[in-house]
């Protein structure tokens, strides 16, 4: 009798549970509406506009692939695409080279949690000033009569100022590495902090030296951090235009810079083409990075 | 028997606290040694010093005839089984076990076939066959512990340190793993140093039992000696089977706060404190007002409650100042009288069963 009673009870409770879960879906509504209005619609608009007809002074919604053909047949634009990819790869590599050891130190060798947090906060301090100031501050550092050249000359290491330091691809890379490095350090340090100290001691006890432990234990366990950091850096660098504009003296044109110029001269259709190319590029990069590590499994 | 590990005067301080305060010990070859110590007695620190994760401030650690205080842990050939197992979370069961063979700095095994064969052999030894390719997150606690043990044993260390190896297992599993650990050790022929906070575990497992008390080895002996003749009051208190009294000796009596206990034929030990110990199961319960025989000691107390554990009943009495006095009656010998709570009873024991420390 008691069994039949419980069955009856379960049956009656099924209905409210269903209603309950459909009510919960409403929690998603604000986010979904926001994303539809301000992300999905603009992207669709951008794709649509990229096929509009552009004349010097006006743009009409007659569909054409002229802007697309122009993009893929003009050297300037193709070389901007290539520059963007090249600078992205170099900055990704340099943030990793600078960031990984720092994260290794903070996450693994600093035992005191307070000092660990303090060091990570230290990484974020540059972000207390505005983006533009951070970029422009590199000019008096790198310039022909900038701090670095003056110091090197004062020490007698060089006779003539190194001109390549400012208004070159190098200065863009230096600037971007400094700005985006912290986005690499953060996720890696987080994964380092999650490695159980006794796991490393166990590896030591089994006879492995530091480099072996690094290669077989630490590196694989921090790969998710590297991937997350790489996604952060990639998305930001690929969409960059300000650092290149401020530090390259217009010598380095990224896709972002082209969009800014085209929008400035009201060439909406062409700007939309570049926008679509950039979006696809980012999508491919993020998808490829996610292939490296199964983040859902690791986090 | 020759010894595999010798410690002399090992001292380690954290700030003003002496975690290890002059440890002297010697572990024989091919034996199971258990180390009993309450929490905070320095057990883990001692293991970490032996394994090389901590440096002693003073003293010598001699392993197989060599001083090793400054040898880094990965060159010591001492295995360590961690309390939380510390398995490599990204590797499968068999990769975990192969880790030491493949990655050790000294005479690593480079032939994958040999690694494969030895891992397979070890997996069979600890009874993990069929789980080789599982992730270590997909197996049970008992299986994880075997992986931890296998991972250490496959490297054939001469000494294996086990830090509360049964602590993370549930009671059922613990009893089974106990006998398995002893069997596995016998087959490998190495020395195990098993650290535990549980007196029953220490007594059951160890061919030799070391008792650690505030950074010193208080007693090192076989289980029977430790249980029946604890060398000091603190060792007796760790064993959790003695009623202890502090007081002083006066002529033929021990003066406790509850009256004089007449002495005669009892075992006596040197200790800093003066005390009297009587084992729970040496005490008989009689109705109140019954006088003691000539060779007995008598104490009156109020019955509080009892606890039935199948083979025995533990009865709890409250002494005049509220202190608890415990009596263990083995049901195979005699049924204790049914006691009424809040009534007075007489507790008696033979004079020669008592242990006196002075």
Q: Are residues B266 and B331 in the same domain?
A: yes
Are A199 and B152 in contact (CB < 8 Å)? no
Strands (E), B134-283: 159-163, 191-196, 208-213, 216-221, 242-246, 248-250, 253-256, 259-262, 267-269, 275-279
Q: How many angstroms separate the CA of residue B180 from the nearest CA in chain A?
A: 22
Q: Which of B73, B90, B105 sits opposite A205 (nearest CB)?
A: B73
Examine the pLDDT at A110 and tell me if it is beyond 90. Answer: no
Instruction: Examine the domain organization and report whether B252 and B212 are in the same domain.
Output: no
In a shared domain, residues B137 and B279: no
Residue A8 has pLDDT above 50, yes or no: no
- Listed by start position, the domains of chain A span 1-49, 66-298
The answer to whether residues B221 and B248 belong to one domain is no
Examine the domain organization and report whether B245 and B351 are in the same domain: yes
* A105 vs A108: CA distance, rounded Å: 6
Our CA-based measurement puts residue B273 at a distance from the nearest CA of chain A, in whole angstroms, of 40
- CB distance A217 to A203 below 8 Å: yes
* Confidence class for position A298, pLDDT limits 50, 70, 90: low
pLDDT of residue A173 exceeding 90, the answer is yes
Residue B218 has pLDDT above 60, yes or no: yes
Task: Report CA B21 to chain centroid distance, whole Å.
Answer: 19
What pLDDT does B159 receive?
A: 94
- Residue A297 contacts B where some CB pair is shorter than 8 Å: no
Contact flag B86-A198 (C-beta cutoff 8 Å)? yes
Cβ of residue A294 closer than 8 Å to a chain B Cβ = no
Interatomic CA distance for residues B26 and B1, integer angstroms:
11
Q: Nearest-CA distance from A117 to chain B in Å? A: 24
Domain boundary, last residue among B170, B198, B228: B228
pLDDT at res. A225: 93
A196, A198, A216 member nearest B103 (Cβ): A216
pLDDT at position A120, please?
85
Q: Does A111 touch chain B (CB under 8 A)?
A: no
Q: Say whether residue A39 is in contact with chain B using an 8 A CB cutoff.
A: no
Q: Are residues B174 and B38 in the same domain?
A: yes
Q: Which position has the token pair 């999508």?
A: A283
CA dihedral B150, B156, B162, B165 (to 10 degrees): 10
pLDDT at position B154 is 92
Cα(B150)–Cα(B132) distance, integer angstroms: 12
Q: Taking CB atoms and an 8 Å limit, are A205 and B51 in contact across chains?
A: yes
Identify whether the C-beta of residue B34 lies closer than 8 Å to the C-beta of residue B201.
Answer: yes
User: Which of B176, B200, B228 is the last residue in one of the domains?
Assistant: B228
Q: What is the mean pLDDT of residues B306-315?
A: 90
Is residue A50 a contact partner of residue A275, using CB atoms and an 8 Å limit?
A: yes
**pLDDT tens string A113-170:** 899 889 888 888 878 888 888 888 888 888 888 888 899 988 988 888 888 888 889 9
Note whether B88 contacts A208, CB cutoff 8 Å: no
Residue B234 lies in a domain: no
pLDDT of A3 over the 80 cut: no
Instruction: Point out the domain boundary residue: B228, B252, B278.
Output: B228
What residues make up the domain containing B170?
3-228
| B155 and B302 share one domain | no
Q: Note whether B201 and B335 are same-domain residues.
A: no
Residue B66 lies in a domain: yes
Report the chain A residue with the minimal C-alpha distance to residue B153: A206
Same domain (yes/no): B187, B305: no
Interacting residues of B70 by C-beta distance below 8 A, sequence separation 6+:
B55
Residue B317, strand partner residues: B303, B325
Minimal C-alpha gap between B7 and chain A (Å): 19
Number of domains within chain B: 2
- Does residue B120 share a domain with residue B36? yes
CA nearest to A213, candidates B133, B100, B337, B170: B100
ipTM score assigned to the predicted complex = 0.83
Give me the CATH number covering residue B25: 3.40.50.300
Q: Is 1.10.3720.10 the CATH number for A66-298?
A: yes
Position A215 confidence tier, pLDDT thresholds 50, 70, 90: very high
> Do B213 and B259 belong to one domain?
no
Higher pLDDT, A47 or A58: A47
């Amino acid at each position: 009798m008691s069994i039949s009673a419980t069955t009856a009870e379960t049956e009656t409770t099924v209905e409210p549970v269903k209603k309950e879960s459909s009510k919960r879906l409403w929690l998603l509504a604000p986010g979904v509406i926001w994303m539809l209005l301000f992300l999905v619609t603009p992207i669709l608009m951008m794709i649509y506009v990229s096929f509009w007809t552009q004349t010097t002074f006006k743009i009409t919604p007659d569909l054409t692939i002229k802007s697309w053909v122009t993009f893929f047949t003009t050297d300037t634009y193709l070389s901007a695409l290539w520059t963007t990819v090249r600078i992205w790869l170099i900055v990704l590599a340099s943030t990793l080279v600078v960031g990984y050891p720092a994260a290794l130190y903070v996450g693994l060798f600093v035992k005191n949690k307070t000092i660990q947090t303090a060091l990570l906060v230290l990484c974020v301090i540059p972000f207390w000033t505005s983006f533009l100031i951070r970029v422009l501050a590199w000019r008096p550092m790198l310039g022909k009569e900038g701090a670095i050249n003056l110091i090197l000359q004062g020490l007698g290491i060089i006779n003539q100022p190194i001109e390549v330091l400012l208004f070159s691809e190098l200065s863009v890379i230096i600037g971007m590495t400094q700005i985006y490095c912290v986005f690499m350090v953060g996720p890696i340090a987080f994964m380092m902090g999650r490695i159980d100290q006794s796991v490393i001691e166990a590896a030591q006890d089994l006879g492995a030296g530091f480099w072996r432990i690094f290669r077989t234990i630490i590196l694989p366990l921090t790969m998710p951090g590297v991937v997350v950091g790489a996604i952060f850096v990639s998305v930001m660098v690929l969409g960059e235009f300000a650092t290149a504009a401020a530090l390259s003296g217009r010598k380095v044109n990224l896709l972002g810079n082209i969009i800014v110029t085209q929008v400035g001269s009201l060439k909406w259709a062409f700007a939309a083409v570049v926008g679509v190319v950039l979006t696809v590029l980012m999508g491919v990069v993020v998808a490829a990075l996610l292939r490296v590590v199964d983040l859902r499994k690791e986090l | 028997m020759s010894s595999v590990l010798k410690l002399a005067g090992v001292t380690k301080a954290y700030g003003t606290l002496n975690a290890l305060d002059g440890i002297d010990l010697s572990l024989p070859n091919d034996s199971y040694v258990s180390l009993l110590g309450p929490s905070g007695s320095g057990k883990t620190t001692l293991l970490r010093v032996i394994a090389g994760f901590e440096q002693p401030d003073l003293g010598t650690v001699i392993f197989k005839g060599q001083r090793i205080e400054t040898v880094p842990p990965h060159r010591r050939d001492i295995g360590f089984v961690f309390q939380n197992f510390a398995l490599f979370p990204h590797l499968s069961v068999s990769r975990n076990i192969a880790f030491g063979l493949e990655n050790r700095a000294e005479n690593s095994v480079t032939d994958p076939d040999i690694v494969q064969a030895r891992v397979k052999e070890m997996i069979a030894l600890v009874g993990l066959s069929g789980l080789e390719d599982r992730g270590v997150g997909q197996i049970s606690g008992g299986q994880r512990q075997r992986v931890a043990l296998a991972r250490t044993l496959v490297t054939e260390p001469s000494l294996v340190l086990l830090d509360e190896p049964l602590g993370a297992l549930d009671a059922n599993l613990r009893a089974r793993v106990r006998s398995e650990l002893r069997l596995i050790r016998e087959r490998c022929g190495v020395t195990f140093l098993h650290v535990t906070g549980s007196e029953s575990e220490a007594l059951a497992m160890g061919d030799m039992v070391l008792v650690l008390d505030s950074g010193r080895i208080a007693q090192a002996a076989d289980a029977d000696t430790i249980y029946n003749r604890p060398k000091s009051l603190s060792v007796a208190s760790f064993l959790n089977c003695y009623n202890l009294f502090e007081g002083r000796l006066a002529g033929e009596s021990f003066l406790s706060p509850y009256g004089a206990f007449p002495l005669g034929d009892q075992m006596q030990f040197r200790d800093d404190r003066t005390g009297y110990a009587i084992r729970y199961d040496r005490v008989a319960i009689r109705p109140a007002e019954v006088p003691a025989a000539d060779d007995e000691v008598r104490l009156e107390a109020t019955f509080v409650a009892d606890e039935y554990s199948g083979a025995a009943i533990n009865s709890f009495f409250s002494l005049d100042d509220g202190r608890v006095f415990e009596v263990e009656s083995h049901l195979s010998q005699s049924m204790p009288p049914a006691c009424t709570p809040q009534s007075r009873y007489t507790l008696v024991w033979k004079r020669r069963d008592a242990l006196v420390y002075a």
